[in-house]
Structure 1
């Protein structure tokens, strides 16, 4: 079974993930753009039992577009968001895929808010991409 480790910028907060993520997505919503300071968010979803979070995390809770409570866990030292949960998806934790710092990490298969909020210059190239919103 494959094991991957994601870390914040200063390495004080980490997530060790066992197995493959069941969903890998990019999200073009405004909250993800603000969270990452970039053109989109990039996350990998795992079952909570397959993820070991180590280190101290500060939490920030926001309400998503569909009314769910999203809790972001970020490093209190460097500020990098490492993971998040959604109260409408119990038992699931998403890891910021860029925190794996692994060029062989699998590509996204879902692009959320692809048509409505994606910067027009962003192209997501992958063999099978489900475009939502």
Structure 2
């Protein structure tokens, strides 16, 4: 099992199965959400994720044109997870909330059209200018 949590510990997730995908997103919304140049995201089967604690939902339309519902802690403001309407069978989790330096590296990089020029990833990472779908 893998656990994720916000800064204050009030919002927690337990994942009972391994991640299905680890990806980096360079879209401007992810840059603004994280306060840095990209987000690192782990995707899990929705039926393997247990959520506990209060969360506030923020819904937006992603650069892909699809709706994403993001959930953050109402106390500390950390964005912990999100649910993409494009695929209700998965839950996205911010890799930083896992606090695991040994977590698997991303295998995909998306929305590189807005990637900062100094960012690079390991050889073999699948790279897409926009959404791969």
Q: How many residues align?
A: 129
Superposed structure 1 runs of 4+ greater than 2 Å apart? none
More displaced stretch, 31-40 vs 116-125? 116-125
List gaps (5 residues or longer) in structure 2: none
1:22 to 20, 35, 40: 20
Cα distance in 2 between the residues matched to 1:105 and 1:28: 20
Matched, 1:111 2:75: no
Cα deviation code 1:19-70 (max 9, x no counterpart): 2111100100000000100110111000111100110000000001222110
The alignment's C-alpha RMSD in Å is 0.9
SS of the residue corresponding to residue 79 of structure 1 reads: coil
User: CA shift at 1:98, angstroms?
Assistant: 0.7
SS of the residue corresponding to residue 31 of structure 1 reads: helix
Aligned position for 2:125:
129
Aligned position for 1:83:
81
Structure-to-structure mapping, 1:40-51, within 5 angstroms: 40-51=38-49
Aligned position for 2:93:
95
Cα distance in 1 between the residues matched to 2:69 and 2:34: 15
Aligned position for 1:4:
2
Aligned position for 1:13:
11
Aligned position for 1:37:
35
Cα distance in 2 between the residues matched to 1:117 and 1:65: 11
List gaps (5 residues or longer) in structure 1: none
